[in-house]
Each structure stands twice: as C-alpha cells, then as structure tokens.
Amino acid sequence: MRTIKLWMMAAILICGMTTVLTSCSSKDDNPAPSPELPKSYNLVADEYKEAILDDMIWINIANTPQDQGETFTIESPKPGAQLTIHYYRPDGVGQDEKTPVVYYCHGGGYLMGSATMYGNGFREMANRLGATVFSPEYTLTTEESYTYPIELKEVYAGLTYVHEHGDELHVDGNNIVIMGESAGGGLTARMALWNKDKGNVPIKGAVLIYPMLDYRTGGPDDLYKDDMTGEFVWTKEDNVIGWALLQHGQDIPADEMIYYSPAIATPEQLKGFPSTFLIVGSLDLFVHEDKAFVEQLSLAGVKAESFVEPGVPHSYDVMLNDSPQTIRFKNLRDEAVKKMFNSENSNMSTTPDYSKKTCWFQIPEVTKQFDTFYIPATEYINSSYNEGAPDFATLDNAEMLEGIAAEYLGQASVYEESTNVFVPYYRQAGLKLEVDAWKKTGDMRDALKGTPYTDVTAALDYYFQNYNDGRPFIIAGHSQGSAMTSLVLQKYFKEHPDYYKRMVAAYVIGYAVTTDDLEANPHLKFATGESDTGVIISWNTEGQKSVDENAQNLVLLPNAISINPLNWKLDDTYAAATENLGSLIVDEENLTIKIGDLGADAQVVPSRGVIVSNGKADHSQMPEFFIEIFGPASFHGEDYTFFYNNIKDNVAKRIATYKANQ
C-alpha cells in the first residue's frame, strides 16, 4: 500500500498547490473573490474565464469517479517493492488481437496524482486510437519511500516490460508511443533520453503535453521571467517546490542532469530522441521552455512539432472537457499518435548491427593496401513523400536498395581500382526531411545529425575495429553521403585522431565544404593541388544558368569551396574538355557502364563556390521539384560521372603520394 502523505494530497486538490504550502486557511464556504485579478486574466480565452475562477481543474480531478482499468504488477526497481501498471484496452477488441501501445506518465508535479487520475480519459483515448493505454503507478516525491530518481527507473521498467511482453499483454510491443502531461510530460522526455542513452526500446514517438522540463523556471535562474505566464493552476512558486522535492536534496552529477531536467540537453545530447509532438497553452508557465525544447530537438535533426493554444493555462484540457480548445487538443494529439503508429520506427529504432552482412551493401574481399569507406547519397526520394512515410529509410526500403546499387555503379566504383570499397547501409534521411531542414535552417545536414549520423558512426566503429586492420583509407560520398562525411570529419575524426591520421583523403563531392567549416575545425585541411594527402576534396557542379541567376541549391552553402576536378586548381583557371580523361555513361536500367565523351569542361566560380561546366546531360525527365531545390542548371547527378576517369586517376595519385611519404 502506498504511504502517500494523504493530507497534502487532499489539501492540494481542494485548495491548490500554492495555497496549501502557505496555508489553507479559508473557513468560508463562499470566500470573497480576490479584489485584484491576475495580470494575465484579460488574455484568457472566454471559455476559460469562469472555469479558472471556479478552480474547475481541481473539482474535475477530485470529484469525478475514474475508470480504474485493469492492472498487473511487476518487480519494481525499488528494493522489495512491486510496480502496479493500469491498462485500458479499446472496447470491442478481441482478447487475442494485438493493439498498438500508448505508454502514459501522469502529471501532478511529481508530488501528487495517480495512474488512474485520468482513467476516464484513458478509456476514451484507447477507443479513439484503437490502442491499449498503459499507466504506471510511479513513486511520488511526497511518499516516505521516495529517493531520486526512482520514478524514472520505475516508468522505464514498466516500458521495458510492455515492450518485452507484448505477446502475453496482447499488444504490439514494437509499436509504442510514449506520452505524458505536465510533470508526466517531463518524465516522458526523461524516459526517452534514458532509453536513447541506456536502453533499447523501439519508440515510435513522444507526445509531450505541456511538459515540465526546466528546473530553473520560476526561480532566480529563470531564463524567461514572463509575468504573464504561470498565474493559474501551476505557478512559479509551485514549480520551485516541485523541482526541489524531485531532487530531494541529492547532488546530481553534471553528466546525469539531462535525466533530471531535459531542457538543459544540447542538440548533440538530443540526437536520436524520438519524433515528438508537443502541445501547450500560451498562458502556461511552461510555454517558453517547451517551445525552446522543440527548437533544440529540431537542431538535433529530430522531427519535432509543437502547437501553442492561445489564451489557455496549464491543464486546460482537464479544466473543460468539451471546450473547442479541448476538442482541438484531442484531435491534434490523436492525429500525431496515429502518424507515429503508422510510421516505421524513426529516431529511436535500433541501430543496425554492423556485424551482420545484411547491414552492408558491400564488404569486399581485401586485395589492396588501401580502403575506401563510401557513404551513399540520398536514395530514399519519392517514397519519402508518401503519406505516413517515416523520416528515415528502413534498411529494407526498396527504393533505397535499388538506388544504392545504381549509385555504386556510377559513383563508388571509381574507387575500386585503387582500394577495397566498403559501403554500409544506414537509415538515411528521406529527401522530404532534408528539404524541410534546408528550408528551416539553410543546411540540410540538420536532418542528418540524429539517426543517420548514429548509424554511420556505428558502421565506422565496426569497420575500424573489425575490417580495416590498420590500412590507410579514403572516406567518400555524394550528396547526403558527402554531407554526412563532412559531419564525420568534423566530429567523429576529431574524437578518433588515431584513425584520422591514416586518412589519405576525403572526397566530399556533391555537398558544400565551407571556409566556416575549416575555421571551426582546425584539424581539417582543404586540398590545394592534385596529390596532397590528409585533405578534403569537394565540388558542386552547375551549368551557367544557375550561376548567372545565383539560384538556390540544396547542396550549396555560403562560403563554399570547390576544387577543379580536371586541373585540380582552386582559382578560376579554365580546364577544357580536352583535359577530361573520360566521363562515365551509366545505363541504370541494365546496370552497365561505359566511358565516353560528354564534353565536360570545368571552371571554378570562386564567388559561388561551384564548378561550372558545359557537359551534356539529359535532364528532360527531371521533375520540376528537383529544379526548384537544385536550380535550373544543376549537374548534381553528374558530379562524379562527368569527371569519372579524372577522379580515378586522382585517387591513384594521392595514394602514391601517401605511400611515398611513409
């Protein structure tokens, strides 16, 4: 039996949090109204003005009998204790029929509430979504047995159990959306971070309902200090007390603080967080920290959306069950959950096991003294725009698999003559996600910093530890693969200098390398000629029309640098087509190639950071959409093929220089 300090729970429900912690002193059944309303009262939506004055949220929670659902217990992480989990199956679903899962963490500031406080709402949600809703009875900070962070360990134990025991619970344990409101929303975010870093439950997405994320809000270190928020239901004073009770006087190590207060997590720490939908009211104390958290998720490459309901306070959906705002809340919540259920596991699906050959397009027989690690371009293109399509391709995505096979023939094969070419599969970002990131931030790499980067660096780890055997190597890619290569150069090799010192060159073709990148990463050097080593080689190829119009280009960034792939100069010295050793002509239908003359000359345009060429390419079937994102005269698809034999020759020259210098 729980040993909650029931007097506090009851008093909070009746009088409100702040009143209790000062004094619940009103003896009058009909106390006189406050002579002065809070400053933000005039901003309250008309539907909520009376409900706020009548404390409808507390009345609805305290006085409404709630559906208790069914229960089971599991061993709790708390020594000698059991964890009770309530669950609600949708009506009319057969006992043996598996449903998706909503795993819900209730709110209450960590100090009050229960797993069934919204039992009626859970039953309604189960029926609206056709999902089973699970709600764990985690330990509150007002219980005598509480020690930080037992509540986090408990809810995660419950989540893991549901995932691992899906068959006996008659649910799909691999189709889970996590959800919570207020402190439970914060606990949901904490659980997602914990899972990302310490666990492996496949989470389809997170729905965060006005989550409590930032321990600083309301205190002296408050980042926002907005007097027009947090005047109703849950105030600044309440928040300070709630966070203090959660910490329980313990010192939390700096590297564990994100599991206490997710708002402090950096984009780097948020990479791999599940796709997220967040909803909050404009008068909620948490509105600023919640919006900031979504922005941080987006910077981490996580698909994250938010909706701010104007004129409503904290817990507005509980306050009035049938208001237009609550109806909109339920519709938005359910739409987000259904999209997550229908998607493949995106940010939180399991990192591929690169010990399995099925996770590689090619693991070559090692016959040469040098390797190439080639990262494929975006091949998850058309299907990424399908309704409900995941942000990141699964490793069995047919469009991606077919595209990589053709890409190897037309691009990666250029490295075969001199090196052993390793090519991993990875959960690459769809073109839709890349374009969305580009439109939002100007750099599509922001779409790659979560799941794709996690996969590629896992593949690199396995390659260096099991396949490389100390050989010097080239790292290369195209388009998304080159954008990923630039991230690997900046971060992964900075963290692994022992690997980096064996790098012959990095061919970052088809995505911009900028002077800003080089200034921010002093360990990186750009090529200055045809044979220097330990350097980056990069260019983007365009026709004159794109240059003349200064057209936007998905793969181009300000302050880009390109080297001429025919004469290997950085200035605008023209290289005629006679200097071209041969272009590659690819028959993608029959997967055959031949060398020919496409009239591909090259000249650097330093002011734009591209190569301009007059080579011949058939773009008659190019979709209008591609012209919009790459420009009217892009040769993005010809970055390799126009200069194929020159690249092959250059690889050999740089390897020869590397050998000579050893």
Residue 259 confidence (pLDDT) above 90: yes
Q: What is the pTM of this model?
A: 0.54
pLDDT band with cut points at 50, 70 and 90 for residue 497: very high
pLDDT of residue 285: 94
For the chain, how many structural domains are there in total?
A: 2
Domain boundaries, position 268 = 6-342
Spatial neighbors of 624 by CB under 8 A, at least 6 apart, are none
Residue 593 confidence (pLDDT) above 90: no
Residue 533 confidence (pLDDT) above 80: yes
User: H or E segment at 294?
Assistant: helix 287-299
pLDDT band with cut points at 50, 70 and 90 for residue 587: confident
> Do 597 and 465 share a structural domain?
yes
**Domain-located, residue 258:** yes
Lowest mean pLDDT among 219-233, 405-419, 549-563: 219-233
pLDDT of residue 374: 98
Residue 489 confidence (pLDDT) above 90: yes
pLDDT of residue 534: 97
Residue 375 confidence (pLDDT) above 60: yes
Residue 19 confidence (pLDDT) above 60: no
> Do 86 and 139 share a structural domain?
yes
Return the closest-CA partner of residue 271 out of 445, 506, 41. Answer: 445
More confident residue, 380 or 2: 380
More confident residue, 80 or 621: 80
Q: Is 224 exposed, middle or buried (0-12, 13-18, 19+ CB in 10 A)?
A: middle
Lowest mean pLDDT among 419-428, 440-449, 617-626: 617-626
**Domain-located, residue 349:** no
Q: Looking at 287, 314, 342, which one is the last position of a domain?
A: 342
pLDDT of residue 446: 87
> Do 373 and 255 share a structural domain?
no
Task: Provide mean pLDDT across the span 629-650.
Answer: 95
**Domain-located, residue 225:** yes
> Do 615 and 490 share a structural domain?
yes
**Domain-located, residue 347:** no
pLDDT of residue 591: 62
pLDDT of residue 48: 79
**Backbone φ, ψ for residue 509 (5° rounding):** -95, 130
> Do 482 and 621 share a structural domain?
yes
**Domain-located, residue 445:** yes
% the chain with pLDDT above 70: 91
pLDDT band with cut points at 50, 70 and 90 for residue 103: very high
**Domain-located, residue 352:** no
d(CA 132, CA 470): 51
* DSSP β-ladder status, 132-136 and 99-105: parallel
pLDDT band with cut points at 50, 70 and 90 for residue 589: low
Locate all alpha helices (DSSP H) within 5-149, ordered by sequence.
6-15, 17-22, 46-53, 56-63, 119-129
pLDDT of residue 49: 81
pLDDT band with cut points at 50, 70 and 90 for residue 301: confident
> Do 149 and 123 share a structural domain?
yes
Q: Under DSSP, is residue 175 helix (H, G, I), strand (E, B) or coil?
A: strand
d(CA 647, CA 581): 9
pLDDT of residue 351: 77
Residue 41 confidence (pLDDT) above 60: yes
**Domain-located, residue 1:** no
pLDDT band with cut points at 50, 70 and 90 for residue 20: very low
Spatial neighbors of 304 by CB under 8 A, at least 6 apart, are 275, 276, 277, 278, 294, 297, 298
Residue 10 confidence (pLDDT) above 50: no
pLDDT of residue 344: 55
> Do 331 and 361 share a structural domain?
no
Q: Looking at 342, 374, 406, which one is the last position of a domain?
A: 342
pLDDT band with cut points at 50, 70 and 90 for residue 65: confident
pLDDT band with cut points at 50, 70 and 90 for residue 94: confident
pLDDT band with cut points at 50, 70 and 90 for residue 55: low
Task: Provide mean pLDDT across the span 618-646.
Answer: 90
Residue 25 confidence (pLDDT) above 60: no
> Do 311 and 389 share a structural domain?
no
pLDDT of residue 408: 92
> Do 371 and 258 share a structural domain?
no
pLDDT of residue 37: 76
Residue 649 confidence (pLDDT) above 60: yes
Residue 284: which CATH number?
Answer: 3.40.50.1820
Lowest mean pLDDT among 18-32, 464-478, 648-662: 18-32
Cα–Cα distances in Å, from 493 out to 226, 460, 601? Answer: 43, 10, 34
d(CA 643, CA 583): 5
Spatial neighbors of 424 by CB under 8 A, at least 6 apart, are 352, 354, 359, 360, 361, 373, 375, 455, 456, 459, 463
pLDDT of residue 619: 82
- Read off the pLDDT of residues 498-523 as tens digits, 9 standing for 90 and up: 999 999 999 999 999 999 999 999 99
Residue 618 confidence (pLDDT) above 90: no
Cα–Cα distances in Å, from 116 out to 57, 105, 145, 450? Answer: 16, 10, 21, 35
Q: Looking at 285, 317, 342, which one is the last position of a domain?
A: 342
Residue with tokens 């089971």: 72
> Do 315 and 416 share a structural domain?
no
pLDDT of residue 2: 38
pLDDT of residue 590: 63
**Domain-located, residue 501:** yes
- Read off the pLDDT of residues 460-481 as tens digits, 9 standing for 90 and up: 999 999 999 999 999 999 999 9
Q: Which two tokens stand for residue 376?
A: 């494929």
> Do 312 and 404 share a structural domain?
no
Residue 265 CA from chain centroid, whole number = 13
> Do 67 and 180 share a structural domain?
yes
Task: Give me the count of residues in the chain.
Answer: 662
pLDDT of residue 434: 93
